[in-house]
Amino acid sequence: MLWGSKKGGEKIFSIWWLFVLGIVGVGIVGGVMVFYSSEIDVREIESDVMFNRISECLIDNGFLIEEVLTERFDIFGFCDLDSEVFGKGSSFYFNVSVFGDGKLLRKNILGGDFSFEKDCLVAEDVVAENYPKCKIVVLPVLYYESGVKSGEMKVMTASNNKLGGLNE
Amino acid sequence: MNKRGINVAFPVVIFLTLNIVFFGGLLIFVNQASTGALVYGEAYAKEIALLIDYSKPPMQIVIDFQEVLELASENNVEREDVVRIENNRVAINFGKGGSGFEYFSDYDVDFYFDGDSLVININEREV
């Protein structure tokens, strides 16, 4: 027993018991600290939400919105995306290209941190925890060009948005 | 109980008491860590930011904020200081630091408390 016992075996037991308590305590406290200090990772969900937002905005009942194929198309205003958030040092990235008739009809409707494009390709082959989480989808679309034609829209979205402090 | 009985029982009582104190302390620590302000702050900041990005204006979102408001009240944070949504950031403040999370939508977002619920109104920005 702890203190007050005169038997040598029980003294050893009490030291052993303190040691066990210490290990258990440090283990539980350490485990809880590690578990709750890790961030809730929503980057994958965020790139998914961004993909849905862009694709639903640019495609209407399977038809590509006509303005998309014009050079002056402003995706930020059209899809209610904040151009400042997608500015320099952004935590987001998107790139939309449209293909039809075996040719590229419109490329690089993009915003955000361009380096994410390479990071996404690298992250496809290796496990890279701090790289952005990406979504790359090719969607079938219909578009008008002297009649209805079918084509494809490639959408790449990526997010590396992480938790910040209260006033960042 | 005679003197010999007390001598036998006393170490046992101390041993049990110390064990209860130790494991009780661990339980309280785990409970506080799991319901802590930082965990709630992060979860709610991200949830609200994702809800805003996922919404299609005009839309109204109502979130039960009772637990958050109770935590904020325990830390003497005024109700109107708990949530801030501005400059494309959702910030949750419980008094012990806080958490902020960015969203990418260019919407007109305002909010208010209706009882213990947080009501968020999302509208298209007027040009």
Check B102 against A1: CB less than 8 A apart. no
Which pTM was predicted?
0.79
Residues in chain B, overall count: 127
Read off the DSSP letter of residue A132: P
Strand segments (E) across chain A? 59-60, 63-64, 92-100, 103-112, 133-144, 148-159
- Please tell me the distance in Å from B43's CA to the nearest CA on chain A: 7
The residue assigned the tokens 């979860």 is B43
* Nearest of A117, A77, A79, A70 to residue A98 by alpha carbon: A70
Q: Which of A45, A52, A85 sits opposite B88 (nearest CB)?
A: A85
Q: Which of B18, B33, B46 sits opposite A2 (nearest CB)?
A: B18
To the nearest 10°, the Cα dihedral for A39, A41, A47, A49? -100
The residue assigned the tokens 């590690």 is A34
* Nearest of A133, A137, A109, A138 to residue A119 by alpha carbon: A133
pLDDT at A37: 75
Which residue would you say has higher pLDDT here, B41 or B35? Answer: B41
* Nearest of B51, B119, B124, B62 to residue A57 by alpha carbon: B124
Q: Which candidate in A28, A46, A160 is best for mutational testing of the B interface (most B CBs within 10 A)?
A: A46
Chain-centroid distance, C-alpha A154: 18
- Which tokens go with B29? 């620590």
Q: What is the pLDDT along chain A (168 residues), one digit of tens a residue?
A: 444 455 556 665 678 888 898 999 999 999 988 887 777 899 999 999 999 999 999 999 999 999 999 988 999 999 999 999 999 889 999 999 999 988 899 998 999 999 999 999 888 888 888 899 999 999 999 998 888 999 999 999 999 998 876 666
The answer to whether residue B28 scores a pLDDT higher than 60 is yes
Angle between helices A8-37 and B3-34 (to 10 degrees): 10
Q: Which candidate in B104, B123, B126 is best for mutational testing of the A interface (most A CBs within 10 A)?
A: B104
Among the ranges given (A59-63, A72-76, B9-13, B15-19), the one the predictor scored with the smallest mean pLDDT: B9-13
* ipTM here: 0.79
Q: Which residues contact B28 (CB under 8 A, 6 or more apart)?
A: none
pLDDT tens per residue across span B89-117: 999 988 766 789 999 999 999 999 999 99
Closest-CA residue of B relative to A32 is B30
pLDDT at A2: 47
- Strand A103-112 versus strand B117-124 pairing type: unpaired
* Nearest of B50, B51, B37, B47 to residue A36 by alpha carbon: B37
